[in-house]
Structure 1
């Protein structure tokens, strides 16, 4: 079971890194149309879509990626807590 936890932690780290790269691409015009951008959109957007319905935009800043990141961390901590019992 500990091996599953280690794999899950690594997957969350990789996905979190992809979220950061996806967010950074928004600073560059046309970056989402590149091959890297298209791959990131295909990987990240299915997770972001349900959170976009929550309309987490305040003052022109979209906090959707922050919400996904926090939920991933929360689920990881919940899983680690359940693993201890």
Structure 2
């Protein structure tokens, strides 16, 4: 059972990395450091968007409209951190 918890924690770590990469890439694109005209940047952006947008749309349903501020990535990261804390604190019960 401990192996399953470790696999879940690994998947959550990968999800954290993808969300943080999406945040940083969106900043770089919005501040014109990177251009979506580049095929490599466009394909990376499209791939990351396909991964995170299904999660973000579910979260955005419950968040109020704050204009140009998107809190969905923050809520997703907080949820991942909370799940990690719960799993690590209760891992002894599954041994």
Which structure is higher in strand share?
A: 1
TM-score for both structures, normalised by structure 2:
0.72
CA distance in 1, matches of 2:65, 2:81: 21
Task: Structure 2 unaligned segments of length 5 or more: list them.
Answer: none
Larger Rg: 2
Kindly report structure 1 stretches of 4+ aligned residues shifted beyond 6 Å. Answer: none
CA distance in 1, matches of 2:63, 2:23: 17
Task: Structure 1 unaligned segments of length 5 or more: list them.
Answer: none
For 1:55, the equivalent position in structure 2 comes to 63
1:12-27 alignment runs, 5 A limit: 12-27=12-27
Aligned residues: 84
Select the structure with the greater relative contact order (CA < 8 A; seq sep ≥ 6). 2
RMSD: 2.2
TM-score for both structures, normalised by structure 1:
0.79
For 1:5, the equivalent position in structure 2 comes to 5
